[in-house]
Amino acid sequence: MKAIVIGTGYVGLVTGACLAEVGTQVVCVDVNAEKINNLQNGILPIYEPGLEEIVTRNYNNGRLSFSTNLAEVIPGADIAFIAVGTPPGEDGSADLQYVLQVAKEIGTHMTDYLVVVTKSTVPVGTAVKVNREIKQAMLDRGALLDYDVASNPEFLKEGAAVQDFLKPDRIVCGVNTDRAKEVLERLYHPFLLNGRPIIFMDIASAEMTKYAANAMLATKISFINDIANLCELVGADVNKVRKGIGSDARIGNSFIYPGIGYGGSCFPKDVKALVRTGMEYGHGLRILEAVEAVNNDQKKVLFHKISKHFDGMLKDKTFAVWGLSFKPGTDDMREASSLVLIEALLEAGAKVRVFDPVAAHEAKKTLGESVTWATDLYDAAEGADAVLLVTEWNEFRLPDWTRIKQIVKTPVVFDGRNIYDNTYLEKNGFICYSIGISQ
């Protein structure tokens, strides 16, 4: 089996490496020559636990290779994945220009029957557009080859992408021919151990499934954040409420952790895109509009708490920010809540000392020299008026609080992810603020 994966970002590289890991011959293609050149020299463009190991192993055993030249690598392929970005356009809808460009390139260069699969997150109806691009490109060169278009949305999470891909909860495939179904069944067979299902459906339903899944998860997060904020007002503890509701199997314990809002490259853009699709069809998605609004407010919650504690006088105060990436386990800074917080602090005239174990390099592209780049969490806390826990990396979970107390200016902690034991911290002389726990 030979697969081409076009777009070698988070999804494309993980997909390519994991398919190669189980025996498929894979070529990952990208327009970014520097990225491809680096990969050929063993340098990965992203931080993702476990990825370097399988990329290196499969590159060395010859099952995984990298190219910028689709025309050269497409002959002999059984399946081609489109895994390029679908960023939000100005009106919130998914920008399909990269997907459609790739479809055109496939139509221009394919030499034999191919299953063309959209792995990027795309709105319902995109497969029809992809089909149109391929057909037009073939007509333009006077070719008439057989092919199928399919949809296979990806559900991996950053920070756990390799495990998610190798051991998926399910694989969703939208197909409209038996031939495409057979190719996808064969490709994914190695991932279906222990009863993991592959779910076939029509293409429109597969495209919608991806948005509905992300929208549901985002809804859970905004719901618990809204409840957390109410807990503070009524004197309840959201941690207890979370356990109390999560133990009901119908609700479940996952994705109901309150915090400072969801970030990342997907929830924000996919919620926006689905709202936009609703509008296009005259069907306002009121729940999702509220999910987005709650999330935008939640990204500012820590700043409001800080401002209140210091009576609005933040000018020349120093804050230690622990964690920058939108979640632990990744260097991805897209839509990270840290950026909203830091911008507000800087605007209020505060000084910010930041530390992230992995994302500093990425974060520097946005934050530049507006903040001080600390070498570790203690260096960040040096002389700080307060410590702000933003991303719950493991190494922030059990700091040496005795040492912290000696080096900070005032022992105040704002815990944006509810990972600290407030009672312990308060016993040890800290003032501690969390999300959803009344002071």
Q: Which helix (H) or strand (E) holds 115?
A: strand 114-118
Among 211, 326, 396, 433, the residue binding ligand UGA under the rule CB under 6 A is 326
Picking from 271, 315, 244, 162, the residue whose alpha carbon sits closest to that of residue 306 is 315
Picking from 93, 413, 437, the residue whose alpha carbon sits closest to that of residue 274 is 93
Of 34-63, binders to ligand NAD (CB under 6 A) are 35
Virtual torsion, Cα 345, 348, 353, 355, nearest 10 deg: 10
Strand order in the sheet with 171-174: 64-67, 25-29, 2-6, 79-82, 114-118, 147-151, 171-174, 198-201
Partner whose binding site includes residue 436, from ligand NAD, ligand UGA, none (CB under 5 to 8 Å by kind): none
DSSP SS3 for 72: helix
159 lines the binding site for ligand NAD (CB under 6 A): no
Q: Is 327 annotated as a binding residue?
A: yes
Site stretch for ligand UGA (CB under 6 A), options 22-30, 124-132, 258-266, 281-289? 258-266
Partner whose binding site includes residue 255, from ligand UGA, ligand NAD, none (CB under 5 to 8 Å by kind): ligand UGA
Question: Can you tell me the distance from the alpha carbon of 304 to that of 344, in angstroms, rounded to the nearest whole number?
Answer: 10
Site stretch for ligand NAD (CB under 6 A), options 29-37, 140-148, 248-256, 376-384? 29-37
Q: Is 30 annotated as a binding residue?
A: yes
Strands 412-415 and 25-29: unpaired
Among 18, 20, 29, 208, the residue binding ligand NAD under the rule CB under 6 A is 29
Partner whose binding site includes residue 259, from ligand UGA, ligand NAD, none (CB under 5 to 8 Å by kind): ligand UGA
DSSP SS3 for 386: strand
Partner whose binding site includes residue 131, from ligand UGA, ligand NAD, none (CB under 5 to 8 Å by kind): none
Sequence-ordered list of residues with C-beta below 8 angstroms from that of 307, at least 6 positions apart, any chain: 314, 348
The DSSP line for 83-102 is -----B-TTSSB--HHHHHH
Minimum CB distance to ligand UGA smaller for 152 or for 214: 214
Site stretch for ligand UGA (CB under 6 A), options 46-54, 261-269, 280-288, 315-323? 261-269
Name the amino acid, one letter, at 439. Answer: Q
Name the amino acid, one letter, at 244. Answer: G
Question: Can you tell me the distance from the alpha carbon of 279 to that of 396, in angstroms, rounded to the nearest whole number?
Answer: 42
28 carries an active-site annotation: no
Among 102, 180, 285, 390, the residue binding ligand NAD under the rule CB under 6 A is 102
Picking from 123, 149, 124, the residue whose alpha carbon sits closest to that of residue 135 is 149
110 lines the binding site for ligand NAD (CB under 6 A): no
Q: Is 255 annotated as a binding residue?
A: yes
419 lines the binding site for ligand UGA (CB under 6 A): no
31 lines the binding site for ligand NAD (CB under 6 A): yes
Strands 198-201 and 171-174: parallel
Of 256-285, binders to ligand NAD (CB under 6 A) are 265-266
Q: CB of 382 within 8 A of CB of 356?
A: no
322 lines the binding site for ligand UGA (CB under 6 A): no
Q: Is 423 annotated as a binding residue?
A: no
Site stretch for ligand NAD (CB under 6 A), options 79-87, 247-255, 370-378, 385-393? 79-87
Residues that bind ligand NAD (CB under 6 A): 6-12, 29-32, 35, 83-86, 98, 101-102, 120-121, 154, 156, 158, 265-266
Binding-site residue numbers for substrate are 155-158, 210, 255-259, 263, 327
* Residues acting as catalytic residues: 266
For ligand UGA, the binding residues (CB under 6 A) are: 121, 154-158, 214, 217, 221, 255-257, 259, 262-264, 266-267, 326-327
